[in-house]
A and B are shown apart, each in its own frame.
Chain A
Amino acid sequence: MAEIVDERRGKRVGIAGHPYSALFLPVPIVCFTGALITDLAYVNSGGNLLWLNFSCWLLLAGLLFAVIAGILMLVDLARLPQLRTNIGWGSFGLLAGAGVIEFINSLIHARDGWTAVVPAGLILSAIGAIVVMSHGWLWHESRYGPGVRA
């Protein structure tokens, strides 16, 4: 909890004094990478719709939390000049990019059956997962600097 008040970077947006980042930021990362896994399971099962339904809900949950996390990131970026680095903006941009990709992906996933995933849905899930993981990786760095000192 050392990041609540960080002398070098100042106080970030928090809820009841606790920072939001641990609460909201991981959810899109987990959900979007999860959707890639359930997409692969769908393809591998030859079209068991259970996996398609999982993917749809993971995309929706990831999108909802990505919007919340994105807003809170913007607030931090606006308040804390030391965050407005290439890495800080880059991390935000990657989250926004993942949101756009996965929004389109959720429209693709709303199709009925195989074409909800193959091929466009699966491709977007893979790209979205890579982008959202890059976002998390950079945001971590923007908080702690190069190297892991958490």
Chain B
Amino acid sequence: MPKITFIEHNGTPHTVQTAVGKSVMQAAIENNVPGIDADCGGECACATCHVYVDAAWIAKTGLPEPGSQEASMLSFAAVSQPDSRLSCQIKVTEDLDGLVVRMPEGQH
């Protein structure tokens, strides 16, 4: 099972294992990682599972398609950056084993 490391805004890392096919958001929720709210449960409706993808992983996770639902949700998410993603929209694959994402200070 792929490993994903979530780094809280205060620097605390949480490394969890999750099944292929889940979303990165689900991996956080199932392992009670603080800092991912996921109000809408993965519907891309709330932007409260916002993460910054580590530079080394951007090529594998990709960025939201311009004009997509995810891109418009991120356009005003708390402290949006060029490496911002909504973690509910990143599907876990074997390729993402070792993925590192960082969390913003808040999700609202």
Q: Do A and B bind each other?
A: no
Residues on A lying within 8 angstroms of B by beta carbon are none
Residues on B lying within 8 angstroms of A by beta carbon are none
